[in-house]
Amino acid sequence: MKKKILLALFCLLIMPSSSNVNYNVHYLKTSTVNFENNNCFIINSFEEFNEYYLVNIKYYSNSLDKLISRYNDDFFNNNSLVVIKKIATSGSYEYHVKYFKINEDKVIVKINQSSSKYVSYDLAMWNFIIETNKINSFSEVIIYP
């Protein structure tokens, strides 16, 4: 029994650290193609957010305006925004973030797609605005479809 407990503890120690983090997702669907699929931005300051907003506001129409009041210097003291842009080949597809985690220095996002019985042939752009704990450093962002 002691050996099993020691083996279990050893396995826990050598496994890479993976942590689920607190996050909140806002889904913004637009009809304007303005990006490559699975583009990702990590925003760590109010200044970076303002730059992102000024460059991209024309693509969001009014949908991003509703979120702006949530973000200020105080928000970015302890939080980051992860913005993922995804192209849907049909406006009928719906997307949601299944999970968001940080594994060592990698940001990992799993996005699920669901579709209705009927498929349209118009493109739709999905923008995932993920509010999360502060991300100080990372080596890559992995997005699973």
- At 77-106, the pLDDT tens digits run 999 999 988 877 776 778 889 989 988 889
CA dihedral 42, 91, 37, 138 (to 10 degrees): 30
47 in Cβ contact with 11 (< 8 Å) = no
Q: 122 versus 38: which is more confidently predicted? A: 122
Is the pTM value of this prediction over 0.85?
no
Query: By three-state DSSP, how is residue 89 classified?
Result: coil
Segments making up each domain of the chain, as ranges = 17-144
